[in-house]
Amino acid sequence: MERRETILIEVEHGAGLGAALERASEMHCEDARAIGEKEALATCANALATADRLQWMPGISLVSYGEFVGPGRHRDLASGILRILAGTLKDGDRIWFHVEGQGSVEFYDYLVGEAVSSTRVELDNRRPDKLFTVFLAGGGAFLSRGYRSGLGGVPPGSEGGSIALFSGGRCGVEAFLSSARAGFHTRPLFLEMGGATPPDETRRAMMAAAIVTSNVRPRGGEVLAGYVPKRAVEAIMAGGGWAFHRFLAEVAGRIARSSGERAVFVGLSPEPGYANAIEAYANAQTSLGVAFVAPQCCGVPRAPADEELEALLDEHRWRLLEYGPSAPREDIWGSSMLPGTAAEVAELVVSLKAEGEMARHEVLDGYLRARRRLQELLDGGRRELGEVHRSGEPGDTRGRPGAIGRG
């Protein structure tokens, strides 16, 4: 007989509670009901697995599994919690309670008093044998057996759509999750640097993008992927870090503008040359009329736990360029071949559906199938690309030849 357990869901904004309840019901939880403006309860067959999945939903700030007592007075709630714990407490146990929620101080006093008067335990906040967490919600008390901190933020889709630049590292994850917390339906964009990106890094990046997307949007999200031709990579490397970020911004901004997405998110770590990278995105924002948002990433993204994702991120080491000492050269950028090439890359980017347990494999396989054709078109010369455009694809947007120098 399967064991069912109660979960407590808390959202950061009350507007997200309905979506959270709907998602819990989709996961075969029963009796899903609101108990406050930002709190809800549900009964689930596999509460731990449910918590692991719900923690990725934007808007949800906490998912805990355990037992709910109440509603009632604090004195009665404290007695109810101690009755549940009676079978787990032994004489001489050193215990401590952690209580969160409105009225936590008053409730804590009742709980400690009840524990001291009805059991033979010792209160020890420094080296407890057992630590018990209680959340006060909906006029009751929830004794937690475990909990997951969620993404938080506003309900998904509240702000429309966005793109997050995604290299396969932790900054790309931070950009994606920052966008999701802000209420955007986000599509990660990975750009393979032709002839420079190691194959293993492409594999890791595509799989990581699929995992994050399918976790945040379990009903089905999209991963975008494109191929940057070798001639552009050579020009970017000649131009240094600023040219690299300016090219990424140009591709992402063109895609966002053509698909009606409101913003592009890019994670940047504060390193030497950081100001130049920021200026590259600011220039693209002015030129393309698309908002660029650059959350800082300092090593560890605020992401829920996912062992496979962590393994992929830990293995990521590759960078085409550092931020670099090169100075911004918007005047030279405009007369180079890079804006036109960026337009070509943007027009040929592929969209891959990320949904379900096999998303990481399906997204990777889908890109590898499309990659050969992209490579033929973009590395094979602009004449062939122009012919494809004339046959019904988007129009040819070839740029002028040249390259950005460090100057």
Least Cα distance to 188 among 201, 171, 279 occurs for: 171
Q: Are residues 180 and 199 in the same domain?
A: yes
Domain count, the chain: 2
Contact status, residue 19 vs residue 54, Cβ threshold 8 Å: no
Q: Are residues 287 and 180 in the same domain?
A: yes
Residue 36 resides in a domain:
yes
* Domain harbouring 29, CATH code: 3.30.2130.30
Q: Enumerate the β-bridge partners of residue 99.
A: 134
pLDDT at 398: 33
Q: Are residues 381 and 283 in the same domain?
A: yes
Task: Report how far residue 54's alpha carbon sits from residue 51's, in angstroms, rounded to the nearest whole number.
Answer: 5
Residue 396 resides in a domain:
no
Q: Residue 31 belongs to what H/E stretch? A: strand 30-34
Q: Are residues 236 and 263 in the same domain?
A: yes
Q: Are residues 65 and 207 in the same domain?
A: no
Q: Are residues 135 and 203 in the same domain?
A: no
C-alpha triplet 51, 6, 28: angle, nearest 5°: 65
Q: Are residues 280 and 375 in the same domain?
A: yes
Q: Are residues 262 and 125 in the same domain?
A: no
pLDDT at 357: 85
Q: What pTM did the predictor assign?
A: 0.86
* Domain harbouring 253, CATH code: 3.40.50.620
Last residue of a domain, one of 149, 181, 200: 149
Q: What are phi and psi of 216, to 5 degrees?
A: -75, -35
pLDDT at 275: 86
Helices 104-118 and 74-85, axial angle in degrees (round to 10): 50
Residue 212 resides in a domain:
yes
Q: Are residues 124 and 173 in the same domain?
A: no
Residue 407 resides in a domain:
no
Would you give per-residue pLDDT tens digits along the chain (407 residues)?
Answer: 467 899 999 999 999 999 999 999 999 899 999 999 999 999 999 999 999 999 999 999 999 999 999 999 999 999 999 999 988 889 999 999 999 999 999 999 999 998 988 888 999 989 999 999 999 999 999 999 999 999 999 988 889 999 999 999 889 999 999 999 999 999 999 999 998 999 999 999 999 999 999 999 988 899 999 999 999 999 998 888 889 999 999 999 999 999 999 999 999 988 877 888 899 999 999 999 999 999 988 766 667 878 888 888 888 888 887 766 566 677 778 888 999 999 999 999 999 999 988 999 999 999 999 999 999 999 975 433 333 333 333 333 333 334 454 33
Last residue of a domain, one of 109, 125, 149: 149
DSSP state, residue 12: S
Residue 281 resides in a domain:
yes
Residue 401 resides in a domain:
no
Long-range contacts of 273-277 (CB under 8 A, 24+ apart): 273/241, 273/242, 273/322, 273/323, 273/324, 273/325, 273/326, 274/323, 276/241, 276/242, 276/245, 276/323, 276/324, 276/326, 276/327, 276/328, 277/241, 277/242, 277/245, 277/323
pLDDT at 393: 38
User: 372 is in which domain, residue-wise?
Assistant: 160-390
Task: Report how far residue 296's alpha carbon sits from residue 213's, in angstroms, rounded to the nearest whole number.
Answer: 20
Last residue of a domain, one of 149, 181, 199: 149
Q: Are residues 332 and 192 in the same domain?
A: yes
Residue 210 resides in a domain:
yes
Q: Are residues 194 and 287 in the same domain?
A: yes
pLDDT at 193: 96
Residue 397 resides in a domain:
no
CB atoms within 10 A of CB 96: 19
Q: Are residues 113 and 39 in the same domain?
A: yes
